Amino acid sequence: YSLSSMSNGFTFEVMINANSVTSTSGEIYLIGNCEVGGAAIGIYQGKFGMYVYDEVNSKYVGGRSPDALIPNRKYLLTGVFDGKNIKIYIDGKLVATKAFSGTMKDTSSSTHFFLGCNPKADYCQNSYYNGLIYEARMYNRALTDKEVSNNYNGNITTSNLLFSFD
């Protein structure tokens, strides 16, 4: 999916149970398309985060949850990008917001969309997601706080749902 068609933002959401989460572990990508540009959500040094590539400043901008995830616990992790902010939700609750003032760089049409791993083969050989992914969703708009909460409570938003894995 091209993120350029998502001018009103987008949302990535996954329900997981990670077998191990440590503060020393590197980046474990859960869902996204960020080979060169784009965006992704994942676990970064034990914390849930979302990163969006800022083309103007040639770097990824993102936010992380204040607390580390607990291994062997089920979570609904949601990353929302509304064009101005990156919002991090855990179990339907907003836990972090990071302002974004740049221009998101879309990936090329040949960029892979991935689930559970960065698509670069050399990276996947050394790092992968170790756990269960129960559900994954991608929306071509920023979900509201209420919609994120509703999703956590089982009332799944279907408006503008581009991708769903169950």
Question: Which residue bears the tokens 């279907």?
Answer: 158
For residue 138 the two structure tokens come to 């991608």
Cα-based distances in Å from 62 to 14, 55, 85, 90, 101 = 17, 14, 9, 15, 12
Task: Kindly report, residue by residue over 150-165, the tens digit of the pLDDT.
Answer: 999 999 999 998 888 8
27, 80 contact by CB (below 8 A): no
Amino acid 106: pLDDT: 63
Amino acid 115: pLDDT: 75
Helix (H) or strand (E) holding 148: helix 145-152
pLDDT at 122 over 90: no
Task: Kindly report, residue by residue over 70-103, the tens digit of the pLDDT.
Answer: 989 999 999 999 989 999 999 999 999 999 887 7
Q: Where is pLDDT greater, at 96 or 21?
A: 96
Contact partners, residue 121, CB within 8 Å, separation at least 6: none
